[in-house]
Amino acid sequence: MSSEDSRRIFIKQAAVTGLGISLGSANAFASTAALDQAAVNEQDPYELFGKHPDMLLLNDKPWNMEATAHLLDDSITPSEKMFIRNNGKIPTKIDINKWTLQVLGESAKSKKTYSLHDLRSKFKTFTYQLTIECGGNGRSEFDPPAKGNQWTVGAISCAEWTGVRLKDVLKDVGINEDAVYIGYYGEDVHLSGDHSKHPISRGIPLAKAMEDETIIAFAMNGQDIPEAHGYPLRLIVGGYPGSASGKWLSRLVIRDKIHDGAKMAAPSYSVPIRSVAPGEEVPTEEMKIIEEMPVKSLITYPKTGAVITLGQQLPIRGHAWSGHDEVIQVEYSIDFGASWKVARLESPVNKFAWQHFNAIIDFTEEGYYEVWAAATDKKGNRQPMLVPGWNPKGYLNNACHRIAVRVVAA
């Protein structure tokens, strides 16, 4: 079932739920399970989170939504078009006056607690445009299928985040020489309601934590962080899987080993160390944690399905990004990769910001076309046209994005 189908089902469910209420009859539903489901769906996530109506709802418990390619046309992703990937329940009753960030751990020289005011007043504030992509973006294309949310292309955003540098806070606490990893904890609640469990508690190697662009953010696009995206505090780690950017941040731990929080262990956010055949069983000890996200690009204009007249030039544009390094080239093809032309490419505003590209395409004959885009980063990594190496959890699909175009007679 496509995401659009599930969206339709959601709307149907909402309609039925609404009817149940208007009839004043709770027993319109047969089982309590159905009632639970209905209760979840009473909240329209589009209204609840202020999302664009064309966003696709993948999951409602926990909330997971993604954008479509054409929704991501803005240079800076606005909240209404930003994907949501939640692992647990969004915390309720947030009091920003009482919210604190605790920093501790076996490799911390001291244990410190900061209020939101402390963070703002004690440390210098920085603003960066940072690309955050879900590690499973593109999962829906793997064969055999990988379990989890079946993201297509829209679990990617590049917003403007404001906060303090993680390294400034860590230095203020003091880092022992044996420190190797930083772990985070947030205030989201495990789906089972068990408060002893964390829905997710991941982290990053110390070197990544010490980069200028790794920040503890308290604002997104110049405003408070939206609740679905981590209000009031979020760790932002550009270029790493989105799961490294811990939401509703309340605790950081300086570790002398790789952090062992929820979803740190393989197979979560891990891929095989060596290339494997599709469907192959991979023991967890033969997997490694995903760090940098691969080079990728997205055509955000026009929307797929454009019909133009022969003789009209087709402008295209989009974004390209890489967790490894700067993107140095974006090419496009209208003949399924037989030939490529180079698009104009802008430099990034800052490290880990996506870069904008554009081109104008001439078609010499009528017919069905696909425009494919392929980005290459400074290290020489180029996007594959095919779905890359299969892995058990369906991560890191950076295959070329394409749109369909039809050229008709004048």
Partner 1 sequence: MNTNDFIHRISRVIWPSMGATSLMVLILLFSIYLYHNPTVRLVEAPPNVKSVLVEKNEPQIIEGVHIATGLKDGDGLQLVIKNCTNCHSSKLIIQNRMSADSWRQTISWMQRTQNLWDLGENEALIVNYLATNYAPNKKGRRQNIEGIEWYRLELD
Contacting positions for partner 1 (CB under 8 A): 1-4, 6, 9-10, 12-13, 15-16, 19-20, 25, 27-31, 33-34, 36-38, 40, 57-62, 141-145, 147-150, 191-192, 194, 197, 302-308, 312-315, 370, 385-387, 399, 402-404, 406
Spatial separation of the C-alpha atoms in residues 134 and 395, rounded to whole Å: 9
Q: Supply φ then ψ for residue 197, to 5 degrees.
A: -105, 145
**Which CB sits closer to partner 1, 174 or 261?**
261
Minimum CB distance to partner 1, residue 71 (Å): 15
Minimum CB distance to partner 1, residue 228 (Å): 15
Spatial separation of the C-alpha atoms in residues 244 and 132, rounded to whole Å: 9
CB neighbours (10 Å) of residue 294?
Answer: 21
**Which CB sits closer to partner 1, 3 or 137?**
3
Residue 93's alpha-carbon distances to 90, 195, 231, in angstroms, are 10, 16, 11
Minimum CB distance to partner 1, residue 94 (Å): 24
Strand pairing category for 156-165 and 125-133: antiparallel
**Which CB sits closer to partner 1, 121 or 309?**
309
3-state helix, strand, coil in the chain (%, to 5): 20, 30, 50
Smallest CA-to-CA distance from 250 within 238, 263, 234 is with 234
**Which CB sits closer to partner 1, 145 or 222?**
145
Residue 102's alpha-carbon distances to 120, 162, 174, 239, in angstroms, are 15, 20, 13, 25
Please, how many CA atoms are within 13 Å of residue 63, restricted to the half-sphere of its CB?
Answer: 22
**Which CB sits closer to partner 1, 104 or 308?**
308
Minimum CB distance to partner 1, residue 396 (Å): 15
Minimum CB distance to partner 1, residue 371 (Å): 11
CB neighbours (10 Å) of residue 388?
Answer: 18
Tell me the residue ranges of DSSP E strands in 312-391: 314-321, 327-333, 341-342, 344-345, 355-361, 367-377
Minimum CB distance to partner 1, residue 30 (Å): 5
H-assigned helices in 143-269:
166-173, 206-209
Minimum CB distance to partner 1, residue 124 (Å): 40
**Which CB sits closer to partner 1, 110 or 283?**
283
* Helices and strands, counts by H and E, the chain: 6, 24
**Which CB sits closer to partner 1, 323 or 392?**
392
Largest CA distance in the chain: 73
Minimum CB distance to partner 1, residue 338 (Å): 15
**Which CB sits closer to partner 1, 125 or 304?**
304
Strand pairing category for 215-220 and 234-236: antiparallel
**Which CB sits closer to partner 1, 64 or 250?**
64
Minimum CB distance to partner 1, residue 27 (Å): 7
- 107: its two tokens: 């490799």
Minimum CB distance to partner 1, residue 195 (Å): 12
372 forms beta bridges with: 333, 402
Spatial separation of the C-alpha atoms in residues 67 and 71, rounded to whole Å: 6
**Which CB sits closer to partner 1, 28 or 349?**
28
